[in-house]
Chains A and B, each alone.
Chain A
């Protein structure tokens, strides 16, 4: 087993830990909860290779499934993976996969921002569809509650990811 293979086991472990810790952090901005969960997922997707990004998210969801309180708001448990907001959690896999494929250590700022924007949009698509199915409500009502309030906070997070990723990428060239 070579060095690269060992590292490819540890990257997901640290990545899942980072997402778990950052998911618990909330910047108080009024009624809409601004957690760093999406920021953490976006950063892992941008910095990691696709395989390791996806494995990080699988690990994160697995730990949540067995009850570790690692989801936003210290929630966890299998029910969170099948409740109204489950689509967002599973959507993180889409986010991680798509964004990791579209970015590389040499990506430009615009590329990183657009890749994260696409990933985040897919996450919201997945989340709102599942929410609508589980609560048996119309898509309009679903969008009004689960998408619109988060548009601006998420754009801010995408900008934060874009600003942050370049200095952090230096780690991977070392």
Chain B
């Protein structure tokens, strides 16, 4: 983990940066929901292409996010492998046809239908992950909180969200500081140590980490109150951004994708697009 830069906001310019956090969040949620619900390969593929185009348009450098993308890809592949191992012929049940490409032991044949189903699963990741990265890296945490408030969530709850996003890097930094201090005192944390020693070592990390994190709470809450947080039912936002024409166009596009998902349910007679029917 040391040195790993968890993806977060990077200042930048361009169309996507100029959009309100509200429209970006709503677009992300609606399109992600659409991609999760449907198994119509044509729609999922189109959404994936849209996501990748937006990713390119956002000017996010691949190297900034490559570590996370690699891990997410591995995670997605592991999911697909798990589905195959546990239900090798689920695709056959779904699509009502069986085209064996490779005969395995018992039911572990590799069929076109199973591959097609797993392809759908993987494509969904290409829909949601680029959108998530775009949203996170082009939206300032304070803007994120104000966008939640604009969507109707209490500003106090919305503020908790931006607090968490701000504290994750602080807690990480605290963790590394504590670990280096303990290792300097001879605590064994690496693979070379014995099991019991490593468990004790990690306890020696966790206890001070939690102490320092929780002891922050008093300081933070007092400082917030001294600045009159929570005094009124509503508040203004320094990072407030009104919806513009572009924002409404983005929202219309998101709704269109969701409605298209519903239409395809009717056309396909269900969630699945079946090329073998």
Contact = CB atoms under 8 A, between A and B. Distances in A.
Given A22-B206, A24-B1, A156 B199 contact: yes
A31 interface: no
B128 A77 contact: yes
Describe B's contact surface by its main secondary structure. helix
Given A36-B206, A84-B79, A20 B229 contact: no
A109 interface: no
Contact of B164 (A5, A16, A36, A43): A16
Contacts of B220: 10
B172 interface: yes
A76 B68 CA distance: 9
Nearest to A132: B86
B225 A3 contact: yes
A150 B198 CA distance: 18
B167 A1 contact: no
A69 interface: yes
A137 B83 CA distance: 9
A70 B87 CA distance: 29
Contacts of B82: 84, 135
Contact of A68 (B125, B131, B165, B222): B165
Interface size class of A (residues with CB under 8 A): 35 or more
Interface string A1-30: 101011101111110111011101101110
Interface string A48-88: 00000001000100110011111001111111101111000
A82 B75 CA distance: 13
B203 interface: yes
B75 A80 contact: yes
Given A10-B221, A136-B86, A75 B75 contact: yes
A168 B90 contact: no
A12 B217 CA distance: 10
A148 to B, nearest CB: 15
A171 interface: yes
15 contacts: A1-B225, A9-B157, A21-B209, A39-B206, A47-B214, A59-B160, A66-B135, A67-B131, A67-B135, A68-B6, A69-B71, A74-B6, A79-B79, A84-B79, A135-B83
Given A9-B221, A18-B171, A69-B71, 16 more contacts: A5-B230, A7-B218, A7-B221, A10-B217, A10-B221, A14-B167, A16-B164, A24-B1, A27-B202, A36-B206, A39-B206, A59-B160, A66-B25, A69-B68, A73-B75, A77-B129
